[in-house]
Amino acid sequence: MTFVPEPFAEHVVACAGETGQAWLDGLPDLAADYAQRWQLTFDGPAMHGYVGVVLPATRSDGSPAVLKMSMVDKETRDEPIALEVWAGAGAVRLLDSDAARGVLLLEGLDATRSLQTEPIDDAVRISTGLLRRLSVPAPAGLTRDLRIEAEQFSVAGPELWADLGAPFPRKLLDAALDVCAQLGPTAARLLVNQDLHYENVLAGTREPWLVIDPKPLIGDPEFTTLALVWNRWSESSVDDRFAAIVDGAGFDPDRARAWTLVRAVQNWLDFVGNEDFEDVGFHAVQEIAPWAMR
């Protein structure tokens, strides 16, 4: 069974080296194993994100589903926990899973329709409404905690900034570190989807729109703001986009701006470290970080 898109395979190997290649080599057998276990018939071309492959399928009862196989890392390992908690309310329904192997069976959605192509005002309104619904008390078992990650960045951030040759003014880094020191220890104990953006909201049948591919952690919902600001970056001003997000999600505006600064600085460092200077996100964070520090 050959289904791994070449760009995806190249990305995995570039990021994970031999470990990534070994995981790619095992995908055909993994897919065949779970197709048999869950009685699936694959019936469409493979799709992929950054760390996972999705195979459209039909279940034995004729209902549509997808088999999702991801490399297990700190951002993907808790996905089934979040989906179980949401139980299909505002998010794709989890039908079965083998979390240890990064394999999920999900209900089938319309992969040809996402909020990426809806008018931006509608996309913000819908996504923030979903974000508000999904901000529920964090369940036991989540392995990422904003309180811990803020503390870790306070130590690692200055070292990384120096190692990368001071790629932006130190005052931006210091402001981000100040946010981590002030807000990190008191971050909320809510289930947060760090990667809720417009391409990760697909059309459904049970509900018009459903969130997919969560990157869960325990913390403040405001920590998610950047994903909705920098995606579709050129379609509205930062002030207008931020105001719409805060209003739609019911965010504390000061906390949302503060965490947006932290995430913009973190992503700026990531882009420089990966030499990913052509990504539209790299250009976006160079404007968002100074804006958020105001």
Distance set, CA 37 to CA 34, 40, 93, 161 (Å): 5, 8, 19, 48
Interior/surface letters 83-115, b for 16+ CB within 10 angstroms, e for the rest: bebbebebbbbbbebbbeebbbbbbbbeeeebb
Query: Measured between alpha carbons, how far is 242 from 259 in angstroms, rounded to an integer?
Result: 12
Task: Write out the DSSP string of 216-266.
Answer: EEEE-GGGGHHHHHHTTGGGS-HHHHHHHHHHHHT--HHHHHHHHHHHHHH
Query: So which residues are the catalytic ones?
Result: 195
